[in-house]
Amino acid sequence: MKKKKIAFVINYFYPDLASTGQLMTELCQDLQNDFNITVIAAQPGYAGEKASNNKLFEEDYLEKIRIIRIRLPEVVKTSKFSRMKYIFSYFILANIALLKEKGVDIIYTISQPPVLGGLIGTIGKFLKRSKHVYNIQDFNPEQAEAISYTNKQSVFKIAKAIDKLNCRYSDLVIVVGNDMSNTLKNRFSNGEIPNHVVINNWTNEQEILPLSKNENNVQKFLNQHGLENKFIVMYSGNLGLYYDLENIIKVTEHFKNYKDLSFVFIGEGAVKNDMQSVVQREKITNVHFLPYQPKEFIKYSLNAADIHLVVNQKGIKGVSVPSKIYGVMAAGRPILGVLEKGSEAQMLIDDSNCGAVVEPQDYKAIITTIETFYNMNNQELRQLGMNGRAYLDKYLKREISINKYRDSLREVSK
């Protein structure tokens, strides 16, 4: 029987370092024998990589997966104009690339760029008479509204109306948390709720394993960055607009005289410069900023921490799930969650007993909780971390999520 063709229009894809790019790459690789897959994505650039090709559309392959890479203007993450130029260029060119594809049975889009990612699928559904699967990783404009990205309420209203249209006309909406399912239902509380399913994000739990700090590569990381014999509080991921990191960084001042404690922030993003400015201004010497680690090295850098920060800004509950939580749980490290009660990540931490949670913007509680972890003995810390790993192995394995995707896409393609 001829395999159904899916066009994944997903912005970030291998070798991009964005978390959604890594997730979608693994998803496509695991589904490539079940479906004929074409990916339409931007040329890599999430971590500041320069475009390697001047062609507007470049064809590439990853195993059996055909990739159409779009050349886009370089984005300056601190500039709204630069972001908008990038987003609208992607929207136009991704639509053109999709319309040129023949024999597409399913168009699969994600909620990136905000609202317009889903709109690509809505337009394609009608012009190409295909099915549309809309994967919402982040609800927008709710996410932008939570941080007051703009004070123009009319922009939020128009954006929400368009995204409700994307949901209504999709054949299946996929959300990544139970709290996000509630947000979708609330959007359509006065009407028919779109067909949807909850499928958790994941990490490769066979690749990321709990390791001792004495393991050679973990030790190499610690030595390289002057972190030997330190209690390490780590944040690994996007230093972006939706995490309140520009304020959370200020708690590090309380610990500036702790000689055996270090904060490590791994990643890039819109608020990194602001965070660095705070550290420089207050002359805090035990805060380290490192670039994204190579994908094959993340399993070691995650294990270098004693505790990990998993954070979201106030108002993000039901809007987004920080996917970094799965990698931390796989590494068997305790979590300090700065998360709203009732959010997916908060419930995971509490249900698995793998750490502690404080409310966003409660900076005193963040300080107190870090001190609590700091004063624990190694056995207590290890037990908390391994609780998370055990929970992940039981309920959140990559295979479980991939199989749900496979079943859902097969059902839609009938």
Contact 32, 61 (CB under 8 A): no
Quickly state the pLDDT bin for 45 (edges 50, 70, 90): low
Would you say residue 149 has pLDDT above 80? no
pLDDT for the residue 53: 61
User: Residues 369-399, buried b or exposed e (16+ Cβ, 10 A)?
Assistant: bbeebbebeeeebbebbbbbbebbeeebbbe
Q: Which of 413, 283, 279, 391 is nearest to 334 (CA)?
A: 391
Would you say residue 54 has pLDDT above 90? no
pLDDT for the residue 150: 61
Phi-psi region at 357: left, alpha or beta (left = phi > 0; alpha = psi -120 to 50): beta
Would you say residue 93 has pLDDT above 70? yes
Contact 270, 78 (CB under 8 A): yes
Cross-sheet strand order for the sheet of 287-290: 287-290, 261-266, 231-236, 307-311, 335-338, 355-358
CATH class of 216-395: alpha beta
Q: Domain segments of the chain: what residues?
A: 5-202+397-413, 216-395
Task: Kindly report the pTM of this predicted structure.
Answer: 0.91
The DSSP annotation for 120-136 comes to HHHHHHHHHT-EEEEEE
Phi, psi angle pair for 55, to nearest 5°: -70, 145
Across 50-130, the runs of DSSP E, i.e. the strands, are: 57-62, 65-70, 106-110
Mean pLDDT, residues 120-143 taken together:
94
**Per-residue CA distances from 410 to 3, 20, 106, 151, 317 (Å):** 10, 22, 10, 42, 31
Greater pLDDT, 412 or 51: 412
Would you say residue 243 has pLDDT above 80? yes
Residue 10 exposure: Cα atoms within 13 Å on the Cβ side: 29
**What is the percentage of the chain residues whose pLDDT exceeds 70?**
96
pLDDT in tens, 161-220: 999 999 999 999 999 999 999 999 999 988 899 999 999 999 999 999 999 999 999 999
Mean pLDDT, residues 238-246 taken together:
92
DSSP-based three-state secondary structure for 337? strand
pLDDT for the residue 392: 98
**Could you report how far apart the first and last alpha carbons of the chain are, in Å?**
13
pLDDT for the residue 50: 52
CATH number of 5-202+397-413: 3.40.50.2000
Would you say residue 147 has pLDDT above 80? no
